[in-house]
Amino acid sequence: MKKKILLFLLAGCVLSFTACVNNGSGDKGTTAAETEMSETESSETEETEEDVIQIGQGDADAILAEKLDGTGCQAVYNDFMDIGEEEYYTYTVVDSDDTELDQMLAVNAVSGDVVVYDLEADEISDYSTFKYYNEKKDADVNWEGDFYLDPRTVHLEPADDTSFEFTITKDGEDEPELQGIATTDAKDRWKAIYDDGELSLTFERTENGLEIHDNGDMSGFAAIYEDKSNLSE
């Protein structure tokens, strides 16, 4: 009888110990999962923050100096500020007579875009509202799209801020007649030059299309091409 009681008690202890072990391992598993999730969220936050790369003040100075080139104006650094939900390097501007303008300029710390800043209203506006805005030099020209004049299509694809790739293809042919990279004119953003040493062309963007001019020998490409998006099917 005593043996049966001892065996019963021993079995009970074993079951209690097993339950404790299981409960303990369950708690540890939950803690590990929570820790892993926390580390993952932290890592994602850090990666997101690292993706936002700001330009330095020196870069902003250079961007603005290029923008004001030819205007006779100079920019004087003012402050690094939060405007709206973004950060900007702000500048006062003086003209060729050393007179400070009513308008301030600001350079976006991430994109490098230049805008006009109203200090009193704490608002920004497009650079086209600047007193010395020059449409030829400062316009944001769209060098992208397809342009057509029977029997040729000219395809434009931006390469960077100052150049674009072009392909000229004749109807019914797979291989292009000419392709290359043209560089926009710093003094007239509506024009771009292609020169490979043998052939020189000027591309001129217009309101309704694209004009190509020969800069020497006749190429056969000089013509006025219409934007395909404006052509009726």
pLDDT at residue 4, rounded to an integer:
47
Q: Given CA atoms 69, 71, 72, 75 in this order, what sign does their dihedral have?
A: negative
Show the tokens assigned to 11.
């079995």
The predicted-structure confidence for 173-201, as pLDDT tens digits, reads as follows 999 999 999 999 988 999 999 999 999 99
In this structure, CATH architecture of domain 145-230:
Beta Barrel (2.40)
Confidence of residue 70 (pLDDT cuts 50, 70, 90): confident
Residue 190 to residue 85: CA distance in whole angstroms: 32
Residue 75 has pLDDT above 70, yes or no: yes
pLDDT at residue 49, rounded to an integer:
47
As a whole number, the mean pLDDT across the chain is 84
Are residues 81 and 69 in contact, defined by beta-carbon separation less than 8 angstroms?
no
pLDDT at residue 137, rounded to an integer:
86
Model-wide pTM > 0.75:
no
Tally of helices (H runs) and strands (E runs) in the chain: 3, 13
Please tell me the least confidently modeled range out of 126-140, 153-167, 202-216: 126-140
Are residues 94 and 106 in contact, defined by beta-carbon separation less than 8 angstroms?
no
Residue showing tokens 């004009």: 211
Please tell me the least confidently modeled range out of 71-75, 133-137, 155-159: 133-137
Residue 164 to residue 45: CA distance in whole angstroms: 36
Per domain, the residue ranges of the chain are: 57-133, 145-230
Residue 21 has pLDDT above 60, yes or no: no
Residue 130 has pLDDT above 60, yes or no: yes
pLDDT at residue 92, rounded to an integer:
97
Show the tokens assigned to 189.
């953003």
